[in-house]
Amino acid sequence: MELAKSKLARAKYVLEELERRYPTTPVPLDHTNEFTLLVAVLLSAQCTDVRVNKTTPALFKKANTAKKMVKLTVDEINEIVRPCGLAPRKAKAIWDLSHILIEKHGGEVPEDMEALEKLPGVGHKTASVVMSQAFGHPAFPVDTHIHRLAQLWKLTDGKSVKQTEKDLKRLFPKETWNKLHLQIIFYGREHCQAKTCKGIVCEMCRTMFPDRKRPVNYNKS
């Protein structure tokens, strides 16, 4: 019952259990440099990492830097990234941000959250992923898995993704953020899927809330 009653105890359990399960956390999106990671994360919006990783080799063979990307047309980019969904918008964003990187950042991806968030198609989550996975800066990107699990585990009230990020940053040491956000994603994908667990099936949910009998409703946005 201690875990069910204490948020701090649950946070400690989550940290220790996920470290036991996932001692190493390879970056899910294949990339070779900061630019290819940025593009891959942009493409992953409303698309699986598996699909992105199947799509990007053809794109990065033609253009793995901003300077090479602007030599392609938006239509050429669109044709390649079509399997990722929302292709016309994503293709235009990739082409536009490549121009901005050349004009304002010497063709390089800026190591700066504010500058990243100003790029077309790059929101706070994408910028956070790049800052953490490309540059190693502490960040806690919150995707749908993290937003959902944080609510199931009562680590946040889930009123918004922004609030979930704030709550998790308060609960966990800064030096764990970059690894932990991936560990939660891995666990959500493998063991605590939205359609199957709902807070009452997977081992971690049952351990933290042994008396929970009914599926948990959570805020998706």
Question: Is there a catalytic annotation at residue 71?
Answer: no
Residues 206 and 213: their CA atoms lie apart, in Å, by 10
For residue 23, which of 179, 139, 134, 177 has the smallest C-alpha distance?
A: 179
Write down the catalytic residue from 7, 68, 143, 179: 143
Structure tokens at 99: 């121009």
CA angle 96, 88, 83 (to 5 degrees): 120
Matching residue, tokens 């198609």: 121
Rounded to an integer, what distance in angstroms lies between the CA atom of residue 84 and that of residue 90? Answer: 9
Between the alpha carbon of residue 13 and those of residues 155, 172, 213, the distances in Å are: 12, 11, 21
Active site residue 5: no
Q: Is the dihedral of CA 37, 41, 42, 47 positive or negative?
A: positive
Catalytic residue among 90, 125, 154, 198: 125
- CA distances for 84 relative to 42, 51, 61, 94, 151, angstroms: 10, 7, 17, 13, 28
Of 134, 140, 90, 143, the residue nearest 112 (C-alpha): 134
Rounded CA gap, 20 and 7, in Å?
Answer: 20
Q: Which residue numbers are catalytic?
A: 125, 143
